């Protein structure tokens, strides 16, 4: 009897399962399929890092500590505020504690973990395994960033109920709270990008320790700086008006995102082999960043003038812009002047092919020759924009002192441009000479730039000091290469016109000699992409027949290598 | 990297050749790791890359795997340049380095799944490949185990699985048997043999020459960055005019036969050991038969002739000088 019953059950099961198979997929199956598809579309690095992070002791410990600390502060903070908590606004004090609890993982632990993650890919040899897959360096870096963002989100969600509790205690308005949390998230992401850009791509104990110390310094300084700002914001509220706040948010987003794009491109470029174009992406990001900086500065001046702010109140804007331009182009220009001149067929395939394309886009072509041209051209564009801003301020009824200061600034900007031109050409020549002997990294450009700038300032000063038997002496035209002293003289409006002409001549001669040295180097010919390679790329993009279809056009399933 | 004035063509169209190195050079400062290395591997062939430590094997394999760039020269995989079209090369290539990189807090399934995703495999295709690789490498039982706890042999299997996950046509295996116990070596050899039967083109380097001799169609011997010989073991032997060692068992006067042999120009190093006469003979198999016939006609009572052909080890020792950079 039992046996008959079992057989019947088995038959019923078989019928049910076959009917189930015939039935259209249930909503659960559809969700499963959708989730699988979504998972397939996600960056593989994010999937791997999330799996690793959720199992790692570091994440469990940080998450546990975060929960414990927030709970402990909720109890201890509330007890300390008793009994005023019932009738006085108590949110600021509670929120300061929650900020400190959240800031440590967001601004320190997660960026450091992202840095260590990329560094350990190099250390453990897994970066090489990744390099031979279909993942691009940009995907590797963005995957690390996405994983860090996900961890931040988890920490943020964990602390959200506590923040909501603090809000109910009154004393901090919702926009300030949103501004605070937004600032924390953006700062966390920004610091993660900075930390990733520090991760060395070559193994070496010295470089690892140096970069780790640099990252720790940046993170701790940011933790302190942002902490001060956040605590001020919590305790005293946002001092800016609604318009000013909006402008500050837009400016920080525009400049921050464009700067992050430069850092991400540079980090990806460090992971990219020399045979590929590592420069054009960075140059485009630099152009966008510069446009953002000039746009923000221009808008700040225009809105200040519209609000009838006197020129004395706006003078700091072009001044900050000029200092930023000088510093930015000294570093970025040195790196570009030290780029490898190797022009592989792969890079040449991507060069502009038309006359108009060559005319407009050659400055984006990789190489030190175009690097110097790009640096100088963009510096000139930015300097002209700064000049226009200064001119606008001068013409808007500035007083005599302001007028003199603005005129000095214009002169300083001109001098900086000329010195930069000379220094960049010198860096290019020095790195070129070093490259004759052995392969040179792009970062050597920074070292070369430091040497050139020091030599320009120290050599004439030392010679004249020796000439004067080591007694102090006045500035003279002999010091025209001494950029530090000359710029100081120009800032004090004490510079002789003859020296100005000498510096302009230095810059012009450097520029012209660079043009002569460049020759045909900036005009490499585009190479045609072989037909078979084009076919492969079409196939990869899903525009051509697959390899299996090509091997087996009739679909007989005779592909020999299939497992 | 040196940019050639007239760049080599970006693809080549010889369909029977799957891996090709053309005048490959790689310099690290003053060290010339690879000097003018050229060879090719036919489609579906197994090529053994032999050389002492520091000979330049790993450097040339890394160039083929698109992990390094040559100072001069070109390398092609399935017709695509490793310099100009690395993405296309990577699609076709499975690379197993000598050092096995692992991740913390990841089990075997997750490890292989990650690399399957990294190679762009999606949905059911990814699952199918994962199952096949776990089955093929015998790591199905280890799927849920963390990688860091695996034995060297299991790690090597997993590493081979990772190289196979996207079903590449070409495999580059750098010292796959290093540090393995005999059983694991036999297993690995079986797997490589099976892959070769499936039509994969394999470039494998190893110090265990007897194993290479068993599984390779042809070999390349490299020392101090220079390729000293390529081809099958017999071809290399022939090229080098190698002597084959003969042992003749004589029932009559062995000293007389030794004296008779010593007069012949094709025979050298004749040694008498009781009834056995050992000699080195320069000539083909037909010449060897003629020599035996002549000895019998001359009245020597020959009971047995044994010819010992040179092993890969012998060839390697004769070709190389044991120099290290």
Number of neighbouring beta carbons within 10 Å of residue A180 = 22
Q: Is the pLDDT of residue A354 over 50?
A: yes
Buried b / exposed e along B288-321 (16+ C-beta atoms within 10 A) = beebbeebeeeebebeebeeeebebebbbebbbe
Mark yes or no for CB contact B118/A536 under 8 Å: no
Instruction: Give the nearest chain A residue to B136 (CA atoms).
Output: A563
In this predicted model, what pLDDT tens digit does every residue of A538-550 receive, in sequence order? 887 776 655 555 5
User: Rounded to whole angstroms, how far apart are CA atoms A75 and A485?
Assistant: 60
DSSP A479: G
Q: Which residues of B touch A123 (CB under 8 A)?
A: none
Identify the CA nearest to A421 among candidates A330, A482, A499.
A330
Closest of B28, B4, B19 to residue B81, by C-alpha:
B19
Q: Do A132 and B95 touch (CB under 8 A)?
A: yes
Each residue's pLDDT tens digit, A90-131: 889 899 999 999 999 999 999 999 999 998 888 888 888 998
Query: pTM of the prediction?
Result: 0.81
Mean pLDDT across A144-171: 92
In sequence order, the 6+-apart residues with CB closer than 8 A to the CB of A503 are A415, A418, A419, A480, A486
Residues within 8 A of A (CB atoms), B 125-184 only: 126, 132, 136, 162, 167, 169
> What is the C-alpha separation between B158 and B168, in angstroms, rounded?
16
pLDDT digits (tens, 9 = 90+) for A496-511: 889 999 999 999 999 9
Phi (first) and psi of residue B19, to 5 degrees:
-125, 135
CA distance B188 to B202: 13
- pLDDT band at residue A20 under the 50/70/90 scheme: low
d(CA A290, CA A381): 10
Q: Could you give the CA distance from residue B102 to residue A124 in angstroms, rounded to a whole number?
A: 7
pLDDT at A386: 87
Taking only the tens place, the pLDDT of each residue in A50-85 is 988 888 888 899 999 999 999 999 999 999 988 888
Instruction: Work out the minimum CA distance from B82 to partner chain A, whole angstroms.
Output: 10
- The CA-atom distances, in angstroms, between A253 and each of A186, A258, A259, A318, A325 are 9, 8, 10, 20, 19
Q: How far is B178 from chain A (nearest CA, A)?
A: 17
- Which of B93, B101, B199 minimises the CB distance to A129? B101
Please report the pLDDT score of residue A557 as a whole number: 45
Nearest CA in chain A to B7: A345
Q: What is the structure's pLDDT at B4?
A: 40
At B204 the pLDDT is: 92
Instruction: Cite the DSSP H helix spans in A396-530.
Output: 400-437, 444-467, 483-491, 497-518
Burial pattern A497-520, b for ≥16 Cβ within 10 A else e, equals eebbebbeebbeebbeebeeebee
| Separation between Cα atoms, residue B172 and residue B160, nearest integer Å | 10
For residue range A437-491, list pLDDT tens digits in order.
777 888 899 999 999 999 999 999 999 999 998 888 999 999 999 999 999 999 8
A533 → closest Cβ in B3, B10, B69: B10
Q: Among A271-285, A517-531, B136-150, B247-261, where is mean pLDDT lowest?
A: A517-531
Sequence-ordered list of residues with C-beta below 8 angstroms from that of A517, at least 6 positions apart, any chain: A369
Binning pLDDT at 50, 70 and 90, where does residue B240 land? low
Report d(CA A183, CA A61) in Å as an integer.
25
DSSP run (H or E) holding A559: none
Structure-derived torsion over alpha carbons of residues A434, A437, A443, A444, reported in degrees to the nearest 10: -40
Residue A338 Cα, gap to closest chain B Cα (Å): 15
Q: What is the mean pLDDT of residues B143-151?
A: 86
Q: Where are the alpha helices (DSSP H) in A199-278?
A: 205-236, 242-270
pLDDT at B118: 94
Q: Which of A113, A102, A103 is nearest to A192 (CA)?
A: A113
In A, minimum Cα distance to B159 occurs at A129
Q: How many CB atoms lie within 10 A of CB A220?
A: 12
Rg of chain A taking only CA atoms, in angstroms: 31
């Amino acid at each position: 009897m039992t046996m008959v019953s079992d057989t019947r059950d088995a038959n019923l099961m078989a019928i049910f399962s076959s009917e189930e198979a015939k039935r259209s997929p249930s909503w659960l199956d559809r969700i499963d399929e959708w989730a699988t598809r979504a998972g397939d579309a996600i960056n593989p690095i994010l999937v791997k890092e999330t799996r690793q992070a959720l199992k790692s002791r570091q994440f469990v410990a940080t998450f546990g500590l975060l929960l414990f600390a927030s709970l402990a502060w909720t109890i201890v903070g509330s007890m300390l505020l008793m009994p005023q908590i019932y009738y006085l606004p108590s949110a600021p004090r509670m929120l300061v504690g929650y900020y400190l609890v959240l800031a440590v993982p967001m601004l320190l632990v997660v960026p450091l973990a992202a840095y260590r993650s990329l560094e350990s890919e190099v250390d453990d040899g897994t970066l090489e395994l990744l390099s031979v897959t279909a993942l691009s360096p940009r995907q590797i870096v963005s995957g690390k960033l996405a994983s860090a963002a996900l961890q931040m989100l988890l920490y943020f969600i964990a602390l959200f109920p506590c923040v909501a509790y603090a809000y109910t205690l009154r004393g901090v308005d919702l926009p300030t709270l949103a501004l605070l949390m937004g600032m924390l998230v953006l700062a966390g992401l920004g610091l993660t990008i900075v930390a990733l850009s520090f991760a060395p791509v070559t193994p070496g104990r010295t470089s690892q320790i140096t970069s780790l110390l640099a990252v720790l310094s940046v993170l701790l300084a940011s933790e302190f700086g942002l902490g001060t700002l956040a605590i001020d914001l919590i305790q005293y509220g946002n001092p800016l008006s609604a318009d000013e706040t909006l402008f500050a948010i837009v400016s920080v987003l525009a400049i921050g995102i464009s700067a992050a794009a430069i850092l991400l491109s540079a980090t990806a470029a460090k992971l990219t082999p020399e045979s590929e174009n590592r420069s054009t992406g960075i140059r485009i990001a630099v152009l966008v960043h510069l446009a953002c900086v000039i746009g923000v500065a221009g808008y700040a001046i225009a809105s200040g003038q519209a609000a009838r702010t006197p020129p004395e109140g706006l003078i700091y804007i072009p001044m900050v812009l000029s200092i930023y331009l000088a510093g930015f182009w000294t570093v970025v220009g040195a790196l570009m002047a030290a780029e490898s001149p190797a022009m592989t067929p792969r890079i040449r395939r991507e060069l502009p092919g038309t006359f108009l394309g060559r005319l407009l886009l050659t400055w984006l072509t990789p190489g030190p020759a175009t690097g110097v041209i790009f640096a100088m051209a963009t510096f000139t564009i930015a300097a002209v924009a700064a000049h226009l801003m200064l001119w606008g301020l001068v013409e808007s009824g500035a007083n005599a002192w302001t007028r003199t200061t603005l005129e000095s600034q214009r002169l300083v900007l001109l001098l900086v441009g000329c010195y930069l031109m000379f220094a960049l050409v010198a860096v290019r020549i020095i790195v070129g000479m070093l490259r004759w002997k052995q392969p040179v990294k792009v970062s050597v450009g920074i070292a070369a730039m430091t040497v050139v700038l020091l030599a320009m300032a120290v050599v004439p000063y030392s010679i004249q000091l020796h000439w004067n038997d080591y007694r102090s002496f006045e500035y003279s035209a002999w010091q025209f290469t001494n950029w530090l002293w000359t710029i100081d003289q120009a800032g004090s409006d004490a510079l002789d016109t003859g020296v100005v002409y000498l510096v302009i001549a230095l810059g012009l001669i450097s520029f012209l000699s660079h043009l002569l040295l460049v020759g045909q180097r900036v005009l490499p010919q585009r190479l045609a992409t072989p037909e078979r390679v084009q076919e492969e790329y079409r196939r990869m993009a899903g525009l051509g027949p697959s390899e299996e279809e090509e091997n087996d056009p009739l679909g007989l399933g005779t592909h020999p290598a299939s497992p | 990297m040196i940019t050639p004035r007239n760049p080599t063509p970006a693809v080549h169209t010889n369909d029977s050749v799957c891996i090709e190195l053309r005048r490959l050079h790689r310099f690290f400062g003053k060290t010339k790791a690879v000097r003018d290395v050229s060879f090719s591997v036919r489609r579906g062939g197994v090529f053994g890359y032999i050389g002492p430590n520091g000979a330049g094997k790993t450097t040339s394999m890394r160039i083929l795997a698109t992990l390094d760039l040559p100072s001069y020269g070109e390398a092609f995989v399935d017709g695509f340049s490793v310099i100009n079209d690395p993405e296309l090369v990577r699609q076709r290539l499975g690379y197993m380095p000598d050092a096995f990189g692992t991740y913390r807090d990841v089990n075997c399934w997750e490890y292989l799944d990650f690399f399957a995703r990294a190679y762009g495999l999606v949905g059911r295709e990814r699952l199918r490949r994962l199952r096949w690789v776990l089955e093929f490498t015998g790591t199905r039982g280890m799927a849920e185990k963390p990688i860091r706890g695996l034995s060297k042999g299991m790690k090597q299997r997993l590493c081979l699985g990772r190289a196979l996950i996207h079903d590449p046509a070409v495999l580059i295996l750098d010292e796959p048997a290093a540090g393995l116990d005999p059983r694991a070596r036999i297993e690995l050899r079986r797997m490589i043999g099976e892959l070769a039967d499936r039509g994969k083109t394999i470039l494998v380097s190893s110090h265990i020459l007897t194993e290479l001799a068993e599984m390779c169609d042809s070999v390349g011997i490299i020392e101090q960055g220079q390729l000293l010989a390529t081809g099958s073991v017999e071809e290399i032997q022939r090229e080098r005019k190698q002597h084959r060692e003969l042992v003749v068992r004589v029932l009559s006067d062995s000293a007389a036969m030794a004296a008779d042999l010593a007069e012949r120009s094709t025979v050298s190093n004749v040694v008498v050991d009781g009834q056995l006469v050992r000699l080195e003979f320069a000539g083909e198999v037909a010449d060897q038969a003629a020599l035996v016939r002549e000895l019998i006609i001359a009245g020597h009572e020959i009971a047995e002739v044994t010819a010992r052909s040179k092993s890969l080890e012998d060839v390697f020792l004769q070709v190389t000088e044991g120099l290290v950079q």
